[in-house]
Amino acid sequence: MNGFLDYYNFKPVAEWIHSSLCGVMPEGLALFLEGLVVAVVIILLYAILAIALIYMERKVCAFFQCRLGPMRVGKWGLLQVFADVFKILIKEIIKLKNSDHFLYELAPYLVILASILTFSCLPWHNGMGIIDFNIGIFFVLAVSSIEVVGILLAGWSSNSKYTLIGAMRSGAMMISYELSLGMAMLAMVALSGTMSISGIVESQADGWNIFKGHIPAWIAFIVYLIAGNAEANRGPFDLAEAEQELTAGYHTEYSGMHFGFFYLAEYLNLFIVSGIAATVFLGGWMPLHIAGLDAFNQVMDYIPGVVWFFGKAFLIVFLLMWIKWTFPRLRIDQILTLEWKYLIPICLFNLLLMVVLKVYGLVF
Amino acid sequence: MDIKDRILKLQPEATFEEQGDLIAVVAPGKFRALMEALRNEGDKMDYLREIMGLDNGTELGAVYYLESTATYEQIAVKTMTPDRENPMLPSVCDLWKTAEIKEREVYDFFGIRFLNNPDMRRIFLREDWKGYPLRKDYDMNSNPLNMENEVNADEGDEFVIDSYGSVEDLKNKIFDRNDFVVNIGPQHPSTHGVLRLRTSLEGEMVKKIDPVCGYIHRGIEKMAESMTYPQTLAMTDRLDYLSANQNRHALCMCIEKACGIEIPERAKYIRTIIDELQRIDSHLLYYSCLVMDMGGLTPFFYGFRDREMVLDILEDTTGGRLIQNYYVIGGVQADLHPEFQTKVKAFIKHLRGIIHEYHEIFTGNVIARERLIKVGMLSREDAISLGTTGGTGRASGWHNDVRKHHPYGMYDQVDFKEIVYDGCDSFDRYMVRMDEIMESMNIIEQLIDRIPEGDYKVKTKPIIKLPAGTYSASVETSRGEFMAIIVSDGGKSPVRLHFRSTGLPLVHALDTVCRGNKIADLIAIGGTLDYVIPDIDR
């Protein structure tokens, strides 16, 4: 059945590379070299995606706002983001006199580290998952939490009142929303029966989870989008860096590439949230399969998995941008009310519902 | 003359100045009792329009303009003290809260200390400023450019007379040592200009706000004293730049009233229409800025897109977009652009067709409603006492539209509603502005086809001299009652020219409205109150 799907499978290629490398060098060195190559690829991909996302955000927001967005640098402003990245690279990193230097400089690296680690867990393509083991989802949730530490440190060590308020807001919000994020994912783990990311994707070969899990899956999907948006610190949940209130929140005092790291991480977190949503709810790289329609499935299989993955991820990115550019910002107490009084009870109920449905075989 | 009778009944020793405005003059000793009686007896004069400090060369004093919110009757009371060394007047800030900040302004410029005002600090000038610049004997060289940082005191002076009859300075604490005071401004994205709010916080909660003004104070009132009357007109556009024409309307009316100039019918029509266009312009910007303050960036562009059309129409006729210099004494500077009427009609059609977008994206939005409804309550009593005129007062159920109650221009001949809400919250302050856009279009539609032919300006004498006396005129600008007061000695430049700031009471009200709310609410409330800084820092 999965004839063509196997044609795109990257795993044999990876294995072939590994075995041929082992033929000419000891296995340890081969692993090291492979790791190095993968790391470089990941970081490059990270940077390129950031640039693509920044460009997309500018254009999407411009079209929502009856504007054209960047148009001057390159055709349709395509080179604008490159110019901006170059500019931010050559800017001075200002050292604050009364800040806690060590923590102040550590913070952006923690944020970017959390972001890259989570980024590496995404299932790009059939057989192309980089970090992939039996508790993948758990790992994603765990490493993405490191970001809060970075944000809190940034706010605290800058020794400024605005950053402190921003960091506190962010801490309160992100820790709260991790709960409903985790529980929404847990419902889907219950449906798939595995925590491994590749396992979750494989389990959706006969239909995406959002169709298989019907009502509880939709509830989980919507909760996930809300909580994910909050985790990515984006509007209407962007109160940690609410520029109208706190000028720039926790990263007010950063400049140059240190600020750039926060900026990059924010955009990549948007992509990561979307990518995880695409994986857990929409089948990751798995093409759209409808059980029983083999001809249709065959046609879908012609489209490579990487296209499917990016297509789904960017669709959700667009959805989240749409939300950001439409809604005004919530207030801190409203955000916490939403989480603790509404989302968490809904999530708990949803998890129960999912388990019951799964046990009685009422899911597809 | 029932005003005279009333005052004479309360204070038989009062005398009256009748050149221009009718002003009752009382001695400082009798002043406080008279004000208390006016405030609390009969037709309560519960709205203190303005306090104008005055130096007539020998005496220092202040003129108080009062109005009753029930009958709209207006009274002016003047009190002067001959003591130039240590002038003191009784404060009226317990009768009208707005006096707290207006007395500070008088103190700042004239050095008159108001007894029992809890916060007698300078307001616009630096705390180490020497002398009082609006006094006639002020030495212009006494304050060379100071490069030192200004340190704000954490204590306000309160001058009281103690039991021995001598003046004592109670140092009132503004902020405690342990308060978490955040500077919001002067450079901040949502203070709408260079305003600084020293805000003490309890977590996210606002405990107290101390507005620090004066960062762009230009001394317009002082400058005007050495200018001829036509020259002073140039200042008004630079006050509240979103009500540029309306401000100028007030000053023109004031001078025309003093000189007895009748302006042509056509000029009246033009002024009224341009005023209303300006109001639409300002309210569209209000919408944009409010949603921007609340983090909604897309609706911001809706307002700007349509405001652009208003500015284009104004530019055709006046040549300016922000600073227009259009009204002159005796009419307007130039005739309307030939396409003015067609363009205005097209714009109104466009805006009527598109305004539902504004409401769909913002008014009906659940987050916006959560953020605005029942937030930032300003009761009617507080609104009147604080003198928050304009839409802010009308959202608290205070009928205060100058266009309705003291009509000028063509407002007595058009049919329009005074938009009043009684929710007292941020949402109603917002809705007042949105409804006023519709009402302004309604006014323009009634006038636009009826503009009579004829002169747009009467010839005035090359040098305009006002007869001696005190003259005032007030208009309803986009954000409240704007008042121009001229004191003339018969010369070609004013002895004193004073403007009622529409924004100063609003900034003063921030503390009352925001206490107990969150920082995010402070920003949203600031947006709904709608103050413009150059109008505060004159």
Whether cis (ω within 30° of 0) applies to the bond prior to A236 is: yes
Residue B32 above 50 pLDDT? yes
> Hey, what are B321's tokens?
């977009």
Tens digit of each residue's pLDDT (9 = 90 or more) over B301-352? 888 888 898 899 989 888 888 888 888 888 888 888 888 889 998 999 999 9
Q: Which sequence spans correspond to the domains of chain A? A: 93-359
Residue A135 above 80 pLDDT? yes
Q: Which sequence spans correspond to the domains of chain B? A: 2-139+158-172, 220-536
Q: What is the ipTM of this complex?
A: 0.81
Percent of chain B topping pLDDT 90:
3
Q: Read out DSSP for B502-529? A: SHHHHHHHHHHHHTTSBHHHHHHHHHHH
Q: Give SS3 for B287.
A: helix
* CB–CB contact A330 B519 (8 Å): no
Which pLDDT band holds residue A1 (cuts at 50, 70, 90)? very low
* CB–CB contact B520 A64 (8 Å): no
Range B220-536 has CATH code 3.40.640.10? no
pLDDT at A75: 85
Report yes or no: A67 at the B interface, CB cutoff 8 Å: yes
Searching chain A, which residue's CA lies closest to the CA of residue B181?
A: A161
* CB–CB contact B190 A242 (8 Å): no
Residue B362 above 80 pLDDT? yes
Dist. CA B187–CA B504, nearest whole Å: 19
B156 vs B247 pLDDT, higher one: B247
pLDDT at A6: 65
Tracing tokens 């920044």 back to the chain, one arrives at A54
Tens digit of each residue's pLDDT (9 = 90 or more) over B317-328? 888 888 888 888
* CB–CB contact A245 B523 (8 Å): yes
Residue B158 backbone phi and psi in degrees, to 5: -125, 120
This prediction's pTM: 0.86
Residue B259 above 60 pLDDT? yes
Dist. CA A276–CA A181, nearest whole Å: 11
Q: Give SS3 for B75.
A: strand
Name, in order, each residue with C-beta under 8 angstroms of A294's C-beta and a sequence gap of 6 or more. Answer: A1
Tens digit of each residue's pLDDT (9 = 90 or more) over A194-206? 888 888 888 887 7
Top-tier CATH class for B2-139+158-172 = alpha beta
Residue B1 above 60 pLDDT? no
Report yes or no: A327 at the B interface, CB cutoff 8 Å: yes
pLDDT at A4: 58
Residues of B in contact with A162 (CB under 8 A): 182
Angle at B28 between CA B26 and CA B34, to 5 degrees: 55
Dist. CA B316–CA A170, nearest whole Å: 49
Distance of CA B39 to the CA centre of its chain: 21
Bridge partners (DSSP) listed for residue B482:
B475
Dist. CA B27–CA B35, nearest whole Å: 12
* Contact status, residue B276 vs residue B414, Cβ threshold 8 Å: no
Residue B528 backbone phi and psi in degrees, to 5: -75, -30
Please measure the distance between the N-terminal and C-terminal CA atoms of chain B and give it in whole angstroms.
Answer: 35
Which pLDDT band holds residue A345 (cuts at 50, 70, 90)? very high
Residue B135 above 80 pLDDT? yes
Mean pLDDT of B259-280: 89
* Candidate from B182, B298, B519 with C-beta closest to A326: B298
Mean pLDDT of A279-308: 78
pLDDT at B165: 67
* Candidate from B295, B305, B361 with C-beta closest to A329: B295
